[in-house]
Amino acid sequence: MERSEIVIALAGNPNAGKTTLFNQITGARQHVGNYPGVTVEKKEGYTTVNGKTVKIIDLPGTYSLSATSLEEKIARDFIIHEKPDVVVDVVDASNLERNLYLAVQLFELDVPVVIALNMTDVARNRGIRIDVKKLSELLRVPIVPTVGTKGKGVDVLLKTAVERAEKPFSGGIKIPYGNDLEAAIQRISHLLKSRGWILPGYDAYWLAMKFLEGDEDVLKKMKASFSEGFDALEKEVDAEKRHLQELLGDDPAILFADRRYGFISGACAEAVRLSPEARHTISDKIDAVVTNRVLGLPIFLLLMYLVFQLTFTVGAPPMDWIDAGFGWLGEFVSGLWPPGSESALKSLLVDGIIAGVGGVVIFLPNILLLFLAIAVLEDSGYMARAAFIMDRLMHKIGLHGKSFIPLLLGFGCTIPAVMATRTIENERDRLTTILVSPLMSCGARLPIYALIIPAFFAPKWQGPMLWTIYTIGIVMAILLAKLLRAKVFRGETAPFVMELPPYHMPTLKGVLIHMWERGYLFLKKAGTVILGVSVLLWAITSYPKPESFPERIRTQEAAVEEAYKKSVTDIADALRVPNPEKLVEILKEEASPDALGGKGRLFLETVAEIRKITSGFTARTEVLDEDSPAYAEAVKNRNESFETLRKKAPGAFELARQYVESAEADYQKGLAELDNLRAAYAFDYSIAGRIGNLLEPIMRPLGFNKKLATPMIGAIAAKEVFVAQLGIVYAVGEADEESGTLREKLQKEYSPLTAFCIMLFLLISMPCIATFAVVKRETNSWKWPLVQAFGLTGLAYVLTLIVYQVGKLWI
Amino acid sequence: MSLSDVPTGEKVRLVDVMAGRGLKMRLAAMGLLPGIEITMAQNGGAGPVVIYVRNGKMILGRGAARKVKVKIF
């Protein structure tokens, strides 16, 4: 069969350098996706060999093909069903025996195999000498020595693989299993053939072997296809297995593994020579320090601290740039409409899409840096040691070492935390870690605590309060992890078995590709979901819009205008301007100042001067402390400027200052208050506001009224939105965590108990929508993000309910 | 004796893995089969152990190590 392209599958143990080799071969011409329906990544890439297009599939890294793990099943199914033209098995030359176990299983699948004998440099340094020609003869496969990190041998490997793919394949080597096992295989295989029970793409001999090994995946597939009489066959197989067990003293599955390793050891004994100095290598010397009982933990904590610092400190300036970039974009887009105009499209673009997507893309520097650090730790071989060090502690909560790093990152942001769980191979451990990770209180929740704690707790209790909140999160995570392991993800706990690969220098190319992959996936996939959600959230907080405002707001509107007019009329009288109405129009910049003459003119000029001085003063002192000498200096400068002005025109100055500092300032304040009232009313009128009203009866038992219930919906978009939304609801203008007025209003309305309950609820309840999207992506299902969202919200509800109701009895 | 009781630096031979099929198969795939020589690289008395086997270094959780029966050379 002639195919337009040659398909090469890359197989190999984890840590054999498979990915490095894949990156070397394909460079940027690669694509990362998922295998259908599972979380395992599927990487494909292209290259050209002798003018032909070659497609490379990077299979998941596995130690064997016995289908006991998802990765093994995927790799095996791919080879059986997709029939690649050739399988390149990447083998770590410094750890030959264990790596050849997979090769032997590949031979048995009856596909053409080429071995890439990788890391030959490491092997040589460790005093391992491999006779490649002899090993190739013994295994009857082409073997090409490579050094993936340096790109050595890659061209020869590709050429050899393509040659092998184009040559007719006459079957690989058969492992000598010994007479007893061989006879049993033949009997079962004969039985299968006589019944015609051969699944398409499979081979009778191989199927027979899998029956004897008790391979669950094969048994399930066979049973599904040939249900009738399957039990009878199973009985025959069981009889054979018992017979072998009696004869040879072990489970046939172990016997097969033993014979395979026997074959490999035999081949290695002939083709590999170890020099005596092979023992104490540099890797062992590093390990003596890094995994040391005393030093191991501090070194690990230091490295984690550096990763944390790198991610959240070095990431801060680029985050500001992105923030500024989106801010600029928002202003630019706003500028396309005439000032002051109301447009739904403008609002959608600016308040919905740019603000929503921008709020998430801002995390990109964090993610890139985090994965840069992780890639370095992982590629160098340190991650395996970190898992070793943390295993003891994590074991106590039913997880193992590898879950620690994602949980630690959760304090910064849950999104990278969830993404970092990729290093955990075991599905149950990974899901448990993902599900509890939002309980690590993320950075976006800090503004909430920063708003509430100082409002309700005395200064000496503020620190302990914050600590308590964080600790509650950690304790909840531990308890929940334990519960999940005991109830949901039970069954056999995955024993902690892991290879400790020798250290090696990560390559820049590998690390950068790794980082870019993650960043790109984040931007593309999470971005599309987030875009949709942003639009939705914008729509439900913006619509329907009230057609008119209620009486109380309109009355206040009139009152504000009236007060302003009155102040201006007083000034107009003092100036002896005959037409106060005109002056109002001019001051509002609705009429040209030319209409005014004489003294009025001077007044207007002085007003402009005072405005200039005042705004300059505000800009200068914005970031200053009121007790600082710089602030005093600014005050002095301002007063001097005022003095000069006063000397120029004493009468006009007093009136102008009165206008700017009281009449106009009061007017602005009144208008802002009105804006807030209108915003609060419009929000109440919108779908989000109505949902808040509906939720109120449910929230009441937690001590939350309607004003709190509505911002809690906003918190779903992003936790920090709670503060801004609360500001809208309380209508106090630009609310941020420093806003004294909001704090005062909260203080008047709520008890410290309610304040604590707010924080507790927001800590535990469903994570933000971005996390939801990432969990959906990482688990490749809607089930887990939904379980997480509802589960955590339910937990938060029950816990807050208990705390509030019990607390009420005490206080 | 169990692998978890082997002191650092000691060389032992694997006798049997007294575990369920799952762990047994996983260890077998990594070359931990009866008769194989194991050198204890690190055993701190608690937590996982580090061993040399078939020229490679491996971590074994204490629970798993307890199930690996060995005899001293």
B48 → chain A, closest CA residue: A388
**What is the spatial distance between Cα B58 and Cα B40, in angstroms, rounded to a whole number?**
10
Collapsed DSSP state (helix, strand, coil) of residue B67: helix
> In this structure, what are the phi and psi dihedrals at residue A792, rounded to the nearest 5 degrees?
-70, -40
Averaged over A631-657, what is the pLDDT? Answer: 87
A interface with B, Cβ–Cβ < 8 A, is 63-64, 66, 68, 94-98, 101, 128, 214, 250-251, 253-254, 257-258, 261, 274, 278, 283-284, 287, 291, 293, 384, 387-388, 391-392, 395, 400-401, 492, 495-502
Express as a percent the part of chain A with pLDDT over 70.
93
For each of the domains in chain A, give its residue range(s) and CATH number, in order of start. 6-166 (3.40.50.300), 179-248 (no CATH), 296-537 (no CATH), 551-677 (no CATH), 678-810 (no CATH)
Q: How many domains does chain B have?
A: 1
Q: How far apart are CA A668 and CA A588, in angstroms?
A: 11
Confidence of residue A621 (pLDDT cuts 50, 70, 90): confident
Residue of B nearest to A16 (CA): B56
Q: A23-28, long-range: CB within 8 Å, 24+ apart, which pairs? A: A23/A509, A23/A510, A23/A513, A24/A148, A24/A151, A24/A154, A24/A509, A25/A56, A25/A154, A25/A158, A26/A56
Strands A113-118 and A86-92: parallel
Give the pLDDT confidence of A535-569 residue by residue, as tens digits. Answer: 777 788 788 888 888 898 899 899 999 988 888 88
Which chain A residues are Cβ-neighbours of B22 within 8 angstroms?
A: 68, 492
pLDDT surpasses 60 at A2: no
Residues in chain B within 8 Å Cβ distance of A498: 58-59
User: A37 falls in which pLDDT band (50, 70, 90)?
Assistant: low
Closest residue in A to B35 (Cα) is A258
Contacts of B33 in chain A (CB under 8 A): 254, 257-258, 261
**In which domain, by residue range, is B30 found?**
3-72
Distance CA A271, CA A264 (A): 10
Which residues in chain B are closer than 8 Å to A391, comparing Cβ atoms? 47-48, 59, 61
Give the per-residue pLDDT at A280. Answer: 58
Quote the CA–CA distance of A747 and A745 in Å, as a whole number: 5
pLDDT digits (tens, 9 = 90+) for A660-704: 888 888 898 888 888 878 888 888 888 888 888 888 899 999 999
> Are β-strands A113-118 and A143-145 bridged in parallel, bridged antiparallel, or unpaired?
parallel
The nearest CA of chain B is from the CA of A34 a distance in Å of 25
CB of A545 closer than 8 Å to CB of A666: no
Q: Number of Cβ pairs closer than 8 Å across A and B?
A: 116
Residue A268: how many other CB atoms lie within 10 Å: 19
Q: Do B59 and A250 touch (CB under 8 A)?
A: no
Cβ contacts (< 8 Å) between A274 and chain B: which residues?
A: 55
Averaged pLDDT for residues A222-229: 85
Segment among A636-640, A665-669, A736-740, A752-756 with least mean pLDDT: A736-740
Q: Is A696 exposed, middle or buried (0-12, 13-18, 19+ CB in 10 A)?
A: middle
Chain A positions touching B30 (Cβ under 8 A) are 63, 98, 497, 499
Q: What is the mean pLDDT of chain A?
A: 85
pLDDT above 50 for A735: no
CB contact under 8 Å between B57 and A499, yes or no, is: yes
SS3 for A615? Answer: helix
Predicted confidence band at A257 (pLDDT cuts at 50, 70, 90)?
very high
Calculate mean pLDDT across residues A319-327. Answer: 87
Contacts with A95 from chain B: Cβ below 8 Å: 54-56
Within 10 Å of residue A335's Cβ, how many Cβ atoms? 10
Tell if the CB–CB gap between A128 and B58 is shorter than 8 Å.
no
* pLDDT score at A1: 45
**What b/e readout covers A285-308, taking b as 16+ CB neighbours within 10 angstroms?**
ebbeebbeeeebeebbeebbeebb
User: Residues of A with CB below 8 A from B58's CB?
Assistant: 497-500
Q: Which are the contacts of A747, defined by CB distance < 8 A and separation ≥ 6?
A: A455, A456
CB contact under 8 A, A95 and B55: yes
Q: Convert the pLDDT of each residue in B10-48 to its tens digit.
A: 999 999 999 888 888 889 988 999 999 999 999 988 888
Is A5 in contact with A55 (CB distance < 8 Å)?
yes
pLDDT of res. A733: 47
CA of B42 to nearest chain A CA: how many angstroms apart? 9
Burial class (CB in 10 A: 0-12, 13-18, 19+), A156: middle
Please judge whether A254 and B23 are an interchain contact, meaning their C-beta atoms are less than 8 angstroms apart: no
The pLDDT of A505-513, averaged and rounded, is 84
Residues of B with CB under 8 A from a CB of A: 19-31, 33-34, 36, 41-42, 44, 46-48, 50, 54-61, 63-64
CB burial readout A201-234, b (16+ within 10 A) else e: ebbbbbbbbbbbbbbeebbebbeeebeeeeeebe
Nearest CA in chain B to A278: B55
The shortest C-alpha distance from B50 to chain A (Å) reads: 8
- Cross-chain Cβ contact A387/B59 below 8 Å: yes
Q: B64 to chain A: which residues are within 8 Å by CB? A: 495-497
> Which chain A residue lies closest to B32 (C-alpha atoms)?
A258
Mean pLDDT value across residues A349-363: 76
Q: What is the pLDDT of residue A739?
A: 53
Mean pLDDT, rounded, for A114-125: 91
Which tokens belong to A536? Answer: 């939705």
Please name the amino acid found at residue B66: R
Rounded to the nearest angstrom, the minimum Cα separation between A212 and chain B is 14
B50–A387 CB contact, under 8 Å: no
- Say what the pTM is: 0.71
DSSP-derived pairing of the beta strands A86-92 and A128-130: unpaired
Structure tokens at A398: 């039913």
pLDDT of A734 higher than 50 = no
**Residue of chain B minimizing CA distance to A291:** B42
- CATH, residue B59: 2.30.30.90
DSSP assignment of A287-347 = HHHHT-TTTHHHHHHHHHHHHHHIIIIITHHHHHHHHHHHHHHHHHHHHTSPTT---HHHH
pLDDT tens track for A420-444: 787 676 788 889 999 999 999 887 7
Question: Distance from A301 to chain B by nearest Cα, in Å?
Answer: 18
Residue A786 clears pLDDT 90, i.e. is over it: yes
Contact B30 A214 (CB under 8 A): no
| Best to test chain A binding among B4, B16, B23, B30 (most A CBs inside 10 Å) | B30
Q: Is the dihedral of CA A57, A62, A65, A71 positive or negative?
A: negative
Q: Which residues on chain A are in Cβ contact (under 8 Å) with B8? A: none
Contact A257 B33 (CB under 8 A): yes
ipTM, interface predicted TM-score of the complex: 0.94
Given a cut of 60, whether residue A278 has pLDDT beyond it is no
The SS3 of residue A147 is strand
| Statement: residue A3 has pLDDT above 70 | no
**Residues B30, A496: C-beta atoms closer than 8 Å:** no
- Which pLDDT score, from 0 to 100, does residue A434 have? 95
What's the confidence (pLDDT) of residue A34? 61
pLDDT bracket for residue A493 (50, 70, 90): low
Going A647 to A652 to A654 to A657, the CA torsion angle's sign is: negative
Check: CB of residue A727 under 8 Å from CB of residue A402. no
Return the number of other C-beta atoms located less than 10 Å from residue A612's C-beta: 11
